[in-house]
Amino acid sequence: MAESDKIVSIITCDTEGRIESFNEHAEKIFGYTADEVIGKKRVSLFSPGMVVLGHVANWLKKARQNKNGYTTKSTFIRKDGTQFAAEFTCTATMKDGKHIGYCGRTKELVDTSPEETMPKTSLLTKIISIVAITRLPFLSATWIPIIASVVWGIHEELITMNWMTFTLVFLGGSFLHLAANTYNDYFDWTSGTDQINNDYFLQLSGGSRAIELGLITEKQLFKLATTFLALAGLAGLIIMLDNKVELLYYGLAGAFSGYFYTGYPLRLVARKGIGELLIGLNYGPLMTMGAIFAMSGIHSWDAFLFGIPLGLLTTAILWINQFPDSKSDEIAGKHHLVVVLGLEKASWGYLILMLAAFGSIYALYTYDIVEQGALLSLLGLPIALYYSYQVIRNYNTRELAGANWGTIGIHAITGILLIVGLEYI
């Protein structure tokens, strides 16, 4: 038997990929010490990003379906960045009949080039990589307030529908949001915050992990963020040419918040509540007031108030996504309110945000800012109360992830019901 055949890396992880054991052969093959990775890193560290996005989920599925696991050949990455070909076997690990993780056995194929074993990258995987880098799904936090405010503005006879202007508003808001997402990722990575965070909920918290996966470099990510900001500025400039120069104030507020939320020297997210306040304002009142101004040239304080419920619901998304990141955020000096309050008190803060959001919808109706149809959105309240219970119950466990997803759903459902109620009831 060749010496290379005797060297088999054995790595175990939990169901989320967090490394639990790392044998001496794994140290030799991958170049990391066990102390560097156990409890601190995830197994995605060892594969090219496109392989992680396009193939790993399918490998794990096949491993769960076969008691003998799943074997394939692929390309892996060492600590020094070099790639190598290997045969890889993954098996699902069980305890008391419950699936608790995976065991991966990796044997280097010394006579095979990494190019030969590199899995093919499909068009779908390339699209997924773009979605991952930009965190595109979170754009609903921009789209819903813009659409809702325009529907409301038409019914209040503040605006007449101009599809060209609406398109510019929609694109400008989207580009500004994408700039904020990518600047956030850039600064969280360059500050070291993401590197010390191993407890994030994948796709929900802890950033996109795009740099860690090798999908994009630091320099490229900063350029991408700046490009998004420039595109938002261009959309705003075109609108401003229609005698709406004061739109600049809204744009500057959004650009300032998006950049300095995690950007130095201000790093507003770390300033004990300022970050949460900015999120609530930018994805609520300022978004709705700005959209109405862009469409009409009118500064409407009713439009500002109209955005409060959606701003609070977006703050709730941020709030709950800070839970799994709180330990690493505290170490990194990101003293947002969840860190300041602690998880138990912050779980009640989530309930307060939900009650405030739905209470403000009723208040808008009481003070004649919205018509009765807007109350259709209150159908989201039972869902909000259910997830509030889940947050209070599971604030310090991995079961919290369901409530993280649910909070995004509450924002979407409530926003859509608000739009439907305003338009059709």
Mean pLDDT of 271-275: 93
Residue 119's pLDDT band, with cuts at 50, 70 and 90, is very high
Residue 122: how many other CB atoms lie within 10 Å = 13
In terms of domains, do 112 and 227 share one?
A: no
Q: What is the spatial distance between Cα 273 and Cα 157, in angstroms, rounded to a whole number?
A: 36
Of the candidates 368, 370, 232, which has an alpha carbon nearest to the alpha carbon of residue 310?
Answer: 370
Is pLDDT of 242 > 90?
yes
Of the candidates 53, 77, 54, 72, which has an alpha carbon nearest to the alpha carbon of residue 62?
Answer: 72
Can the peptide bond before residue 265 be classed as cis, meaning omega within 30 degrees of 0?
yes
Mean pLDDT of 304-318: 98
In terms of domains, do 297 and 265 share one?
A: yes
Is pLDDT of 1 > 50?
no
Q: What is the spatial distance between Cα 229 and Cα 186, in angstroms, rounded to a whole number?
A: 14
What domain range includes position 29? 3-117
Is pLDDT of 2 > 70?
no
Q: What is the spatial distance between Cα 328 and Cα 105, in angstroms, rounded to a whole number?
A: 30
We report the CATH number of the domain holding residue 80 as: 3.30.450.20
In terms of domains, do 93 and 171 share one?
A: no
Proportion of the chain above pLDDT 90, given as a percent: 90
Residue 199: the pLDDT is 81
In terms of domains, do 74 and 136 share one?
A: no
Domains identified in the chain, total number: 2
In terms of domains, do 242 and 107 share one?
A: no
Residue whose structure tokens are 């773009």: 130
Of the candidates 212, 206, 210, which has an alpha carbon nearest to the alpha carbon of residue 193?
Answer: 206
Q: Is 64 exposed, middle or buried (0-12, 13-18, 19+ CB in 10 A)?
A: middle
In terms of domains, do 148 and 229 share one?
A: yes
In terms of domains, do 160 and 111 share one?
A: no
Residue 242 CA: distances (Å) to CA of 9, 102, 294: 64, 59, 9
The mean of the pLDDT values for the chain is 95
Q: Please count the CA atoms within 13 angstroms of the CA of 79 that sit on its side-chain side.
A: 12
Q: Where does a domain end: 74, 94, 117?
A: 117
Strand 19-22 to strand 9-14: parallel, antiparallel, or no bridges (unpaired)? Answer: antiparallel
Residue 3's pLDDT band, with cuts at 50, 70 and 90, is low
In terms of domains, do 160 and 27 share one?
A: no
In terms of domains, do 80 and 180 share one?
A: no
Q: Where does a domain end: 97, 117, 137?
A: 117
Q: Name the phi and psi angles at 316, rounded to 5.
A: -65, -35
Mean pLDDT of 233-251: 96
In terms of domains, do 289 and 391 share one?
A: yes
Residue whose structure tokens are 């990258």: 121
Which of 108-112, 204-208, 210-214, 226-230 is predicted with the least confidence, judged by mean pLDDT?
A: 204-208
In terms of domains, do 290 and 412 share one?
A: yes
